[in-house]
Structure 1
Amino acid sequence: MTTRALILTSSILGENGQSIALAEHFLKCAAEREDLKVSHRDLVADDLPHLTQPELASWQVPAEERSAEQGELAGRSDALIHELLDHDVVVLAVPMYNLGVPSQLKAWFDRVMRSGKTFQYTEKGPQGLIEGKRAVILAARGGQYAGTPMDSQTLHLKSMLGLIGIRDVDVVFAEGLAKGESHREASLKEARQAIDSLVYKL
């Protein structure tokens, strides 16, 4: 049985980004498994615009009644949701920008977190509609934040994933990358080893 993984990168530094390096290591490990197929979406190259009211409104119009413009706007979200549903694992390679996620990744979440499609509101609160999937977060940070109140990024990512029903989440941290070469190399080595183990288990 083949497992399909979707890896999303969002570093504005391109090949110089440490989260990109983690994503590339994941891809290298995955290539050694015939039963693991990986797709890659570069959210910086995609250059998704910020979500606007016209795009949000287009989701509320039945597909057969949309204008050409509404069809194009709604198509962004439809395509990204379809891609997500078509994979078993979503891998988020995420740098930390000002204690948060890149706006490019937030633009992706804004389109896959869609009421009536990937979650719904109930009397007991929101309910995720995506089942049986898992996520891996590859987090690259210049400082040390994991396990501290300043790590709002991890909670934010887990909360967004959880809202749509993805609660099986593994996190690999590469931290302190701005604290000198020896610390950076040790942290990246530890992260690569964690990725090796995760890929083996997928």
Structure 2
Amino acid sequence: MNILIVDSSILGANSVTRALSMRVVEHLSATFPAAAVTHRDVAETPIPHLSPAYIQALTDLDAPRTREIEADIALGRELMTEFKAADIIVIGAPMYNFGIPSTLKAWIDRIAVAGETFRYTAKGPRGLAGGKEVIILSGRGSVLAGTPAETMDHQEAHLRTVFGFLGIAEIMVVRAEGVATGPDARAAAIADAERRVAEIRFSPSVASTAIAA
């Protein structure tokens, strides 16, 4: 059993999603004591955004490569290896300006790669990363779900689209909303999210992977 945690909040100890990711790690460790946990912090150690030089180096093997590009390619391989090896992927995703942090998008650009995690077919794209589970820890300053403002959600909707596109059917969202609307609202939102984390149950396929390991 391999668990990959990806944190992206820039708020450090004040981050709601980071606190929730710690709760998920505790829950997963109790459920799967032998699991290997990998933590990727894309806020603390940002992943470079895709560049023309990076794409050229990947598509043209004869193109000159600088030391920086070689290191970037090696990082891309490392990120892909982590993602492919993971049975459970936990994403700490605060909402920034109705979307996800750009650092999280940079990570997605390294794991959503044609021929690796999806492929194009005559009948349309086909995901190649099935059999995994994704837990999205969503933090929001205001309340959007179930309100007219829900149409402004380009955070959870984007993540569901990406992972679904990669062939992952098991996607769970644990949401803490309204955390910027006052201390009481923040505490209540976090408590509700922590309760949901404690109630997480996993699909038979993931549970069997843990037993086999």
TM normalised by structure 1 equals: 0.90
Distance 1:176 1:157 in 2: 20
- DSSP 3-state at the match of 2:6: strand
What is the CA distance between 1:188 and its match in structure 2?
0.6
Say if 2:126 is the partner of 1:124: no
Letter in 1 for 2:23: H
Cα displacement (A) at 1:68: 5.0
Q: What amino acid maps onto 1:18 in structure 2?
A: V
Mapped to 2, the partners of 1:67 and 1:75 lie a distance apart of 16
1:7 is matched with 5
Residue of structure 2 in register with 1:40 after alignment? 39
Q: How far, CA to CA, are the matches of 1:179 and 1:186 in structure 2?
A: 11
C-alpha displacement of 1:45: 1.9
Map 1:31-180 to 2 at 5 A.
Answer: 31-33=29-31, 34-61=33-60, 69=66, 70-147=69-146, 148-180=150-182
Shift of 1:59: 2.3
Q: What's the % identity of the aligned pairs?
A: 35
Structure 2 counterpart of 1:18, from 13, 16, 19 = 16
Q: Deviations over 1:179-198 (max 9, x none)?
A: 11111111111100111111
Asked if the contact 1:4–1:88 (Cα under 8 Å) also holds between the matched residues in 2, the reply is: yes
- 5+ unaligned residues in a row in structure 1: which ranges? none
Q: Aligned-pair RMSD on alpha carbons?
A: 1.9
Query: AA paired with 1:37?
Result: A
Q: What is the TM-score of this pair, normalised by structure 2?
A: 0.85
Rounded to whole Å, the distance in 2 between the matches of 1:168 and 1:8 is 17
Distance (Å, rounded) in 1 between the aligned partners of 2:120 and 2:101? 27
Partners of 1:124 and 1:193 in 2: CA distance: 42
Equivalenced residues, count: 198
**Offset of 1:49 from its aligned partner?**
1.6
CA contact (8 A) 1:51 1:107 kept: yes
- The corresponding residue for 2:199 is 197
**What letter corresponds to residue 76 of structure 1 in structure 2?**
L
Structure 2's unaligned 5+ residue stretches are 208-213
Decide which moves more: 146-155 or 164-173: 146-155
Deviation at 1:199, TM superposition (A): 5.8
Counterpart code for 2:21: A
Change (3 A) 1:163 1:45: same
Cα pair 2:116 2:128 within 8 Å, conserved: yes
